[in-house]
């Protein structure tokens, strides 16, 4: 199967006339991926991303510095292995499984944070290449810093205004993408941009920016996806968004927003409106989140569902729901909570870990 990266390089060679073709090829990839449970792929990917960032808080210089964080890293690495084994067989699966057990080994030996991050990020990227499924940020990315990061790390090639004519652009083949190209931008979802920023494109000057936090990469993806629209369009988009409840129902959460291309939205509301609404929401993704339930409400609801599943004897579901309560509900507010009340934060973290293990002990399969 062609990987997304290969498809991107292919598109570079053929440029515009082939854009539509590649867009439809990408669509073709989706049914192939649908045979994998997208939930398994997404959860494995998020666990890996989380480990890459947080392992440094569990181990330093070969010794455990936080027993609870370390228990979590061990649990999550095992969770990745289990999920990979459950995926439908592809030529890549075996090597993914091998690398997951390598990761478990490094964590068991209390290897360095750099080792874990490199393995986890590499595995996460290749997992998505083998099983492409859409992903969404855990929380609203902080767009406010993206402009500065873009100027510092991207403008040399893509240009300050995203027009593709940065000072280093002339010597590059293929040249940097012009984010201001409206036709092209209409075909791009924020998720697709995020993937390129995270993985880079083989054989081009576009390197992977996986050293940036996933929050920063999402913010940059929103920024890159905003250059083709004007502030005036965003103002019109805000008016539409605030006055039209059916529009708000159409884009209920971040996952929908990042997967949406202006071209796809145009199919239901017309190009002019679609461009305007996405001009607004890509500048203000927090607007989408304002209508979503708060993370703590998500955590409570998932824990209640987990308990209900446990009581009816479905322990696998109970465990998955307890993990989802943690990843979807608790994790997004963890940084805020640990700043305000670190003791409470570690008590909750510990208790949620216990609730997940409670399901585990009873699962003999």
Binding interface with ligand HEC (CB under 6 A): 8-9, 12, 153-154, 156-158, 168, 172, 174-177, 188, 193, 196-197, 201, 204-206, 209, 220, 224
Write out the two tokens for 298: 């998500």
Shortest distance in whole angstroms from residue 132 CB to ligand HEC:
15
CA dist 22 and 8 (Å) reads 8
Cα dihedral 244, 245, 249, 253, rounded to 10, equals: 80
- Which residue carries 């929050």 as its tokens? 215
Q: Of 63 and 170, which CB lies nearer to ligand HEC in the complex structure?
A: 170
Residue 214 or residue 224: which is nearer to ligand HEC going by CB? 224
Measured on CA atoms in the order 224, 225, 229, 232, is the torsion positive or negative? Answer: negative
- Cβ of residue 14: shortest distance to ligand HEC, in angstroms? 11
Least separation in angstroms between CB 214 and ligand HEC: 13
Q: Which is nearer to ligand HEC, 45 or 179 (CB)?
A: 179
Least Cβ distance, residue 23 to ligand HEC (angstroms):
11
Q: How far is the CB of 164 from ligand HEC (least distance, A)?
A: 9
What Rg do the C-alpha atoms of the chain give, in angstroms? 21
Comparison of 166 and 359: residue with beta carbon closer to ligand HEC: 166
Residues with Cβ within 8 Å of residue 200, at least 6 apart in sequence: 5, 206, 207, 208, 209
- Provide the minimum distance between the beta carbon of 237 and ligand HEC in the complex, in angstroms, as a whole number: 21
C-beta closer to ligand HEC: residue 207 or 336: 207
- Of 143 and 196, the one with the shorter C-beta distance to ligand HEC is 196
User: Please, are residues 107 and 74 in contact by the beta-carbon 8 Å criterion?
Assistant: yes
Spatial distance between the Cα atoms of 334 and 72, rounded to a whole number of angstroms = 14
Token reading at 25: 């090829």
Half-sphere exposure of residue 317: CA atoms within 13 angstroms, side-chain side: 12
């Amino acid at each position: 199967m062609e990987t997304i990266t290969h498809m991107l390089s292919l598109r570079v060679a053929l440029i515009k006339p082939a854009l539509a073709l590649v867009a439809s090829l990408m669509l073709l990839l989706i049914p192939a991926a649908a045979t994998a449970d997208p939930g398994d792929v997404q959860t494995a990917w998020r666990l890996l991303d989380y480990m890459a960032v947080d392992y440094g808080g569990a181990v330093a210089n070969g010794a455990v510095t936080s027993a609870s964080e370390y228990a979590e890293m061990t649990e999550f690495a095992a969770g990745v292995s289990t999920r990979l084994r459950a995926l439908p067989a592809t030529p890549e699966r075996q090597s993914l499984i091998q690398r997951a057990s390598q990761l478990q080994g490094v964590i068991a030996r209390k290897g360095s944070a750099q080792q874990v991050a490199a393995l986890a990020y590499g595995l996460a990227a290749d997992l998505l290449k083998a099983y492409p499924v859409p992903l969404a940020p855990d929380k609203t990315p902080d767009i406010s810093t993206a402009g500065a990061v873009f100027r510092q790390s991207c403008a040399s090639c893509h240009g300050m205004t995203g027009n593709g004519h940065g000072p280093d652009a002339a010597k590059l083949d293929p040249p940097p993408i012009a984010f201001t190209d409206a036709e092209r931008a209409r075909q791009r979802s924020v998720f697709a941009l995020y993937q390129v920023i995270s993985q880079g494109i083989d054989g081009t000057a576009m390197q992977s920016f996986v050293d940036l936090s996933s929050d920063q990469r999402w913010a940059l993806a929103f920024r890159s996806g905003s250059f083709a629209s004007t502030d005036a369009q965003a103002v019109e988009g805000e008016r539409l968004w605030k006055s039209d409840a059916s529009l708000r129902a159409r884009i209920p959460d971040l996952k929908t927003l990042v997967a949406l291309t202006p071209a796809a939205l145009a199919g239901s509301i017309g190009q002019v409106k679609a461009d305007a609404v996405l001009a607004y929401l890509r500048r203000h993704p927090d607007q989408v989140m304002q209508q979503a339930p708060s993370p703590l409400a998500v955590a409570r609801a998932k824990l209640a569902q987990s308990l209900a599943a446990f009581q009816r004897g479905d322990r696998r579901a109970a465990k998955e729901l307890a993990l989802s309560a943690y990843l979807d509900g608790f994790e997004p507010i963890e940084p805020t909570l640990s700043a305000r009340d670190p003791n409470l934060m570690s008590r909750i973290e510990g208790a949620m870990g216990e609730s997940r293990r409670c399901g585990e002990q009873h699962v003999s399969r």
